[in-house]
Chain A
Amino acid sequence: MIARGKAMQAEAPSKESDELLASRGLTIRSKLLLFTTGIGFLILAALAITAFFLSAIALRKARLDGFQSLRTSLSQAINALFAEQRRDVTAQAELQTVRYAVTELSSGYEHLVEDLDASGFKVDPTFLSGVRQSLRSAYQHGPMQDLRSLGEPVADFDEFSDLGPAAAILQFVYILKNPANPGFKFQKNSVLDISKNESLPPDFRNAFSKTMFARAMDRYHGLFETVVRRNSYFDLMLIDDLGNVVYTYEKSWDFGTNVFKGWRARSELKKVFMGAWYGTTLSGDRTSEDDVVITDLKRYPGAYGSPMLFLSCPINNRLGGRLGVVVHKIASSTFTDLVTFQGRWAAVGLGETGEAYIVGPDMRLRTESRFVKEMPPKMKSISFEPDGAPGPLTMVLGGPLHNKAVENIYSDQVLSNDGEVTFFDDIGRESLGVYEPLGTAGLDWGLVITISADEAFAPAVHLTRLIAFGGFVILIVAILAALTFGHLLSRPIVQLVNTAERIGSGDLSARAPISSKDEIGFLAERFNYMIDQVEERNQHVHKILETVNECLFLMGPDFIIQPGYSKITEAIFQRKIDGISFLDLLRPAPQSGLQPVVTDQILVATQHYLELLLNPRIKEKLIQQTNPLGEIEYKELRPNGAQPSKFLEFRFNRVVEGGKTTQIMVTVLDSTSRIALTRQITENESKAKSQIEMLFGIMHLDPPILAEFLNHAKSEVTVMLDLLEAEQFGSHAGESSAHRSERYLRLLQKISRSIHLIKGNAAMLRLSYFEDLANRLEEKIAMVRGDAALSGEQFLPITTGLASLLDQIGMTYDLITRLLSMQKVFGKDAGEGGVTDFAPLVELAEEIAQRNGKQVRVEVQMKDGLARLPNPLREPIQMMITQLVRNAVLHGIETPSERLAERKHPIGEIQIHAYRLNENARKIILVVRDDGRGINYQLLRRRAVQLGYASVNSIEAWTQQQLDNLLFETGFTTMDRPTTDGGRGVGLDAVRDLIAKMGGVLHVSSKQGQFCEFRLEIPVA
């Protein structure tokens, strides 16, 4: 067991226990790793998230703060622009020069045809229709087409072309025939230019140059040019009291027209004229202190549909009468330039995705978007170059915007229409923005400043990434540290586990190394201490198991024998038995020198018995007696081929733990010697019995008969031994083998006869011991006789047998001698002894009676201190009484059936009385009386004649005394055949001789069928 444990230890490297630990998910290393990683990730995540949110909040605040100030400044700039415009237009309206200009231009406009006529050019219908014709074709390829493409409701071409003669002539001169490039028609407006313009008919241009309008235009255009240029106006217009547009700097298609006619009647131009003229706008939003009227930015047919904003102010004379209206036309680019900072967004903190824009109440942009390209195409609209050619797509007055910032400005659902918001803009970006209504008088505009969240929070994302990366690096370092630390921490534990594994596999010498002074070190120390204790205890158990002289082992509920059994176990079973099933101990084992002799029935019974033992409901003690393995035989296979039997006794006891039978303890006793002893005792008993029988036989035989038997037997055996000795074994010269066989056979027959005679005599005398001896010898002889070819050696066992018989005869002689000597020794002291001398007689009588099929009861009455006979008389008296009792049983008492027939009790009665006649007479009287058949004198007479004591005639004359005396004659017997007990005619003669020798008298009295009594009178010296 120990050796096995060591072997296991060698096979148990630390790797296994590592795997064991790993399989249970128990390594400290991995736990630490998991812990560190987990905590690390948590911290990292928390840190990153916190950093992100904190920085995002800070960034948002910073960004919005920036936006707020940007908004303020933008809003101020826009309002300043309008304030300046208002101031300018008001100032211009009040200029004396402007009053003159509008008066002169209006007058010139009114009298243009007349002036031409006066200057020598007759405006006839042919000329006029020619002018109109050329204008018509210009319109068709210009404003008409553009407006249609914009979806403007252009109902009638005539609205453009149906111009009055003055309007048609002015547009013909200043726009259509003006040699300046489209968009630059404000050039070449002077009289000189017109008179040199060769595309005009010479007479016409001469006449036109002299008109009042041409001269007024020549005079004031320069002045207005200075004003427009200086203030970067898009256009400056003068409208006279009749609604005629008598001056435009720009010379676009509204020049010379009347605001109440054609498409102008629906345009903002009419509104702005009317508003100024009547001191109010049609929309009623005139709120300012001055007389300036503003209209919102709207597509203006007069500028090929480009969005225009109008400001107007009435021109009054000194008395306050209206002379006309001055109108400023402002293009959207003016505002776009303002809020886009001429494209330098980044410089104002709008980065890559930020922008500022202005919206109107229709949610449409009033300024160009920075992301016009990214905008959905359906939200964009066409723009036009100054010459009417299609320009790039634009967001100005494009589709309405749908974002939270814009909606909040115009919503009445919110508390405040300005504020900050995170929202999704119209190209789907999450954005951060501020918004506010601009509050410009006459315009319900709003300002939005926005930037994408991505960009706004990019630093936060960047910071988070930085933290995550840095944290990750730190985490890796922490994991490595945890691994190292975990290894340091778990190593002693792994060592401890390894030690525990080794101990578990049986090596109790294993100890955990104590590598540290911390708790684990302490644990290892305590662990070692514990193992010390266990080892010590184990050694105790081991010593017990080594020493105990009983086979002792445990088996589990599966009947598998467990390691750790007493040392003697292997010696008994001659093999290792741990790990095998208990039932295998009862089955033949190929390698074992011990083979069980067990029937299948016992095997099955054993299995059932063990199952019962495991059944908790069954009381162990109550089934102990059903143990089928009380005496199991095994054959021990010796090398010399012998197979002596070995007997084993199995005992079973439950091992109960926690109320449950967990094991069965088996004790096995080698009961071979006990059984051998039992057998020997039985044998000895029978031997002793036979010796006692011999002794008994001897004791119950008449000494002379025994002597005769012994002498006869001795002489027979001696003769035979002599014969055997004398026989020349081996071949005689010239003798054939058949001869020799015959010679041997004759000898054998001789011996056989002798032995048979001895056997017969022994049987007759009931010397069963000798009978047995003789019988065995006879069997030996019979075996030899059965052999066809006799050889000398075959006589050897016969010789030995004969010698042993002779020995027994000698021993019997010795025994008798010893008995005699004992009698001499004990005879002296017997008087003082306590046992009656006649007690053995009772037994003897009963035995003889039994042998002869009779039943007797002996009654002994010893009076006068005769229970103990005086010593010199004792021996002869005993002999005599014995003989008389024997005689009474054999000859007196009838068989029970005979007695019953005689109406007597089936048990015969023999009375022995001893008493002193009287004190003085000094005589002892001994009476032996039986209630048997009495003396049959008829039989006596017949027998006497038979044996030749008397003749038939003479016997009748014999007296009773004479006949009685016959009883005491040697060789006289009434029995036909001798038996063990008598019938040989020896016995009563001895009594007669003895009584005579002692000087006593013998009386016989009897009554036939009733009794017979012998009375001895013995004188005491």
Chain B
Amino acid sequence: MKLLIVDDSSVVRRAIERDLESGEITEVDQAATGEDAVRLYGAKLHDVVTLDITMPGMDGLTCLDKIIEINPEARVLIISALRDKATAIDAIKRGASGFLCKPINPSELKEAFDLLIED
């Protein structure tokens, strides 16, 4: 199981990695920018991607579009501090599989991850 964590904050990336640490995950990649994320995803086609929306440079929605373009079946979990639900819904409509609101609750994150890899 390969995981790609996309967030401009290293603290958040570490927190997500720590929260999701499990036997299922064999490989974790981190990306601080949308550009890196797309490049990494294109190379490895991770099973699960967690994606921040608000990032410098390429924003999360653009990044999401590109990932979905690479693989329409990509499992992308949006993790964002967005208070604007419309953007979150937009992301789901664009192909994201789920949305979690920052600050992240570890058990919520784990549950969401398990749901994501369920099938």
Contact = CB atoms under 8 A, between A and B. Distances in A.
Interface of A: 601-602, 604-605, 608-609, 612, 618-619, 621-623, 625-628, 630
Interface string B88-108: 111011000111110000000
Nearest to B100: A625
B112 A626 contact: no
Contact of A625 (B88, B115, B116, B118): B88
Contacts of B92: 612, 618, 623, 626
Contact of B89 (A612, A619, A630): A612
Contacts of A618: 92, 97
Contact of B85 (A605, A619, A621, A622): A605
Contacts of A628: 85-86, 89
A623 B115 CA distance: 11
Contacts, number: 52
In the A-B complex, list the 9 residue pairs whose CB atoms are closest, starting with the nearest. A622-B98, A628-B85, A605-B86, A626-B88, A608-B89, A626-B99, A625-B101, A619-B115, A626-B89
B51 to A, nearest CB: 13
Interface residues of B, number: 18
A625 B91 CA distance: 13
B85 A626 contact: yes
B97 A619 contact: yes
A608 B88 CA distance: 10
Contacts of A621: 98, 111-112, 115
A959 B97 CA distance: 84
B4 interface: no
17 contacts: A602-B86, A605-B86, A609-B89, A618-B92, A619-B116, A619-B118, A621-B112, A622-B77, A622-B112, A623-B92, A625-B88, A625-B100, A626-B89, A626-B99, A628-B85, A628-B89, A630-B85
B90 A608 contact: yes
Contacts of A630: 85
A621 B114 CA distance: 11
Contacts of B88: 625-626
B110 to A, nearest CB: 12
Contacts of B100: 625
A106 B89 CA distance: 145
A604 B97 contact: no
A614 to B, nearest CB: 12
Contacts of B86: 601-602, 604-605, 608, 628
A973 to B, nearest CB: 48
A831 B86 CA distance: 62
Contacts of A627: 85
Contacts of A601: 86
A622 B99 contact: yes
Q: Which of B89, B97, B115 has the most CB of A within 10 A?
A: B89
Contacts of A619: 97-98, 115-116, 118
A608 B99 contact: no
Given A612-B93, A618-B92, A623 B85 contact: no
Nearest to A608: B89
Contacts of A602: 85-86
A573 B116 CA distance: 37
A619 B115 CA distance: 8
Contacts of B93: 608, 612
A609 B85 contact: yes
Q: Which of A619, A623, A630 has the most CB of B within 10 A?
A: A623
A625 B90 CA distance: 13
Contacts of A623: 89, 92, 98-99
B89 A622 contact: no
A245 B14 CA distance: 155
Contacts of B111: 621
A608 B99 CA distance: 14
Nearest to B113: A622
B116 A622 contact: yes
A625 B101 CA distance: 7
A602 B89 CA distance: 11
Contacts of B112: 621-622
Contacts of B97: 618-619, 622
B52 to A, nearest CB: 14
Given A609-B85, A619-B116, 5 more contacts: A608-B86, A612-B89, A612-B93, A621-B112, A622-B77
Given A622-B97, A623-B98, A625-B100, A605 B89 contact: yes
A464 B112 CA distance: 86
A3 B50 CA distance: 52
Contacts of B85: 602, 605, 609, 626-628, 630
A332 B90 CA distance: 116
Contacts of B98: 619, 621-623
Nearest to B90: A608
Nearest to A629: B85
A118 B55 CA distance: 171
A589 B93 CA distance: 30
A604 B84 CA distance: 12
Q: Which of A605, A612, A626 has the most CB of B within 10 A?
A: A626
Contacts of A626: 85, 88-89, 92, 99
A628 B86 CA distance: 7
Nearest to A603: B86
Interface in B62-91: 77, 85-86, 88-90
A619 B90 CA distance: 15
Q: Which of A602, A619, A621, A625 has the most CB of B within 10 A?
A: A625
Interface in B31-48: none
B115 A622 contact: yes
Contacts of A612: 89, 92-93
B1 to A, nearest CB: 17
A498 B92 CA distance: 48
Nearest to B108: A625
A618 B115 CA distance: 11
Nearest to B93: A608
A617 to B, nearest CB: 9
A609 B85 CA distance: 9
B99 A625 contact: yes
A605 B90 CA distance: 8
A197 to B, nearest CB: 138
A602 B92 CA distance: 16
Nearest to A617: B97
B42 to A, nearest CB: 23
A459 B98 CA distance: 91
A627 B83 CA distance: 11
A731 B97 CA distance: 78
A626 B93 CA distance: 12
B22 to A, nearest CB: 18
A627 B84 CA distance: 10
A534 B50 CA distance: 48
A628 B82 CA distance: 12
Q: Which of B77, B93, B101 has the most CB of A within 10 A?
A: B93
Contacts of B99: 622-623, 625-626
A859 B88 CA distance: 52
A628 to B, nearest CB: 4
Interface in B1-22: none
A625 B112 CA distance: 11
A141 to B, nearest CB: 120
A250 B77 CA distance: 136
B73 to A, nearest CB: 10
A605 B98 CA distance: 15
Nearest to B101: A625
A656 to B, nearest CB: 15
A621 B112 CA distance: 7
A602 B85 CA distance: 8
A605 B93 CA distance: 11
B60 to A, nearest CB: 14
A625 B111 CA distance: 13
Nearest to A619: B115
A493 B45 CA distance: 64
